[in-house]
């Protein structure tokens, strides 16, 4: 049985390097994209401080994301490509770091407590399969170090998972 290990929070580079190591161990030998998304969501929600939501939306057509595994409060099930932070990440094919979701045009408030958001597109061979979405009740919770750390985690997930 896999057991998560608490990671010191004082150095973000070390924190994300150790979190990536735990994720590799957790996903080792498993190719199922849903199972891996569920475990990544749980790992992140358990170990990353100041989150109120961590999970996935999968692109089910060229125009719509559908809710996948997550940790946190109930969430919006469908998000149109181009709408909200998740939809913008899909259309722009890039990570979206939003310090204040209330200042983001068209933000979708699935949880009114969310104040900042980080969305990482899941890409393989220049094709987007979905997004890893992280919300925090703290304005400005995410920075460039968090973005780089979560981009690395998303890359580990994509490499470990059979995405269609």
- Residue 1: per-residue pLDDT: 56
Element (H, E) at 148: helix 144-160
pLDDT tens over the chain, length 164 residues: 577 778 878 899 999 999 999 999 999 999 999 999 999 999 999 999 999 999 999 999 989 999 999 999 999 999 999 999 999 999 999 999 999 998 987 777 777 789 999 999 999 998 999 999 999 999 999 999 999 999 999 999 999 999 87
Q: What is the pTM of this model?
A: 0.94
Q: Domains in the chain, ordered, with CATH? A: 12-160 (3.30.450.40)
CA distances from 50 to 5, 65, 72, 138, 161 (A): 18, 25, 12, 7, 27
Cα–Cα distance, 52 to 109 (Å, whole number) = 13
**Of 74, 104, 72, nearest in space to 87 by CA:** 104
* 3-state class (DSSP) for residue 37: helix
pLDDT of residue 154: 98
């Amino acid at each position: 049985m896999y057991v998560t290990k608490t990671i010191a929070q004082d150095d973000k580079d070390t924190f994300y390097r150790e979190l990536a190591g735990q994720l590799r161990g957790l996903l080792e030998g498993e190719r199922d994209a849903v199972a891996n998304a569920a475990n990544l969501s749980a790992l992140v929600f358990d170990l990353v401080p100041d989150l109120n939501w961590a999970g996935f939306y999968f692109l089910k057509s060229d125009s719509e994301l559908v809710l996948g595994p997550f940790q946190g409060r109930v969430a919006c099930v469908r998000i149109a490509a181009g709408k909200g932070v998740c939809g913008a990440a899909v259309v722009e094919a890039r990570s979206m770091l939003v310090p204040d979701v209330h200042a983001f045009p068209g933000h979708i408030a699935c949880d009114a407590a969310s104040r900042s958001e980080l969305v990482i597109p899941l890409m393989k061979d220049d094709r987007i399969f979905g997004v890893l979405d992280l919300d925090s009740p703290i304005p400005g919770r995410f920075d460039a170090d968090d973005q780089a750390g979560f981009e690395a985690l998303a890359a580990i997930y994509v490499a470990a998972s059979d995405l269609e």
